[in-house]
Amino acid sequence: MIDAHSILKNCVDIVLQSGEIIREHWALPSNVRHKGSIDLVTQTDLAVEAFLKEKLVDLVPGACFLAEESSEDDEAPADLCWIIDPVDGTTNFVHRIPQVGTSVALWHKGRVELGIVNVPMLHRCYWAVRGQGAFCNGEPISVSGVDSLNDALVGTGFPYDIAKRLPEVMERLALVLPIAQGVRRIGAASIDLAYVASGKLDIFYEAGLKPWDFAAGILLVEEAGGRISNLTGAPLRFGDPLLASNGRLHALAVDLLSPTT
């Protein structure tokens, strides 16, 4: 049995330290290479991931790593695993847009037990331990009380293979835009989920996400009182389009978005 609370402080400290690498690199030129036509990686991604793996390896003996820049697959991880996105929002980082996050989750027996999303350039660190609530900079957070789609601020994202998925992306946007109060595309799913957890966004949906994009964030949402599923309302599985909400809007969001799945 993993006692996630007992390692929380040390884990948060390690993630905060990794944020200093992002801060240090912020003023330096980015050495960018392309993993895909619009999928970027920088020396900062690699440096943060290496730091996190070095520091976390002894925190939970026996845990493996599923990390964006070094993992060859994105299947459900082993029984005990750290799931890491060192720089979520690499394109934001390259353009020096401050919505850049580091996502660290501890996966155990089929679910996330601990999740941290640090946004170093905005000085916000979100964390949650299963069953113990969600926090930002040590203060409790909760989802919004919005119960009408007309009052809802909706977040979404666009997959790296958007050229192939453009019809479905546009179809969903066409459903949401006329009904919602507004739509935002922040460019980092872990931050979108942290924003749902803290009541800044009321709904977030996106297809094509990898485990490291959302593992920490889904626990934040659940522990803040929200709900996570796929777009049909069924339990989320790796590879599914993700839907997160404040809970009150979840059935309405499913009704709106599920016809396109």
**pLDDT digits 0-9 by tens, 193-228:** 999 999 999 999 999 999 999 999 999 999 999 999
Is a pLDDT exceeding 60 seen at residue 95?
Answer: yes
Burial of residue 95 (CB within 10 Å: 0-12, 13-18, 19+) is: exposed
Q: Is 161 annotated as a binding residue?
A: no
Q: At CA 110, angle to CA 61 and CA 238, rounded to 5?
A: 115
Residue 40: is its pLDDT beyond 70?
no
User: Residue 73, annotated ligand binder?
Assistant: no
* Tens digit of each residue's pLDDT (9 = 90 or more) over 115-162: 999 999 999 999 999 999 999 999 999 999 999 999 999 999 998 777
Question: What is the chain's mean pLDDT, rounded?
Answer: 92
Q: What are residue 254's phi and psi, to 5 degrees? A: -60, -45
pLDDT computed for residue 69 by the predictor: 72
Question: Would the annotation count 3 as a binding residue?
Answer: no
Are 196 and 245 spatial neighbours (Cβ–Cβ below 8 Å)? Answer: yes
Q: In which band, very low, low, confident or very high, does the pLDDT at 79 lie, cut at 50, 70 and 90?
A: confident
pLDDT given for residue 30 in this prediction: 75
pTM, two decimal places: 0.93
- Token pair, residue 136, equals 């930002």
Cα 255 to Cα 23, 104, 180, 232, 244: the distances in Å are 42, 32, 14, 8, 14
Give me the domains of the chain, ranges plus CATH numbers.
4-141 (3.30.540.10), 149-260 (3.40.190.80)
Show the tokens assigned to 72. 């060859």
Task: For residues 66-78, give the mean pLDDT.
Answer: 72
Instruction: Confirm or deny that 213 is annotated as ligand binding.
Output: yes
CA separation, residue 259 to residues 137, 194, 240 (Å): 39, 27, 15
pLDDT digits (tens, 9 = 90+) for 149-193: 999 999 999 987 777 889 899 999 999 999 999 999 999 999 999
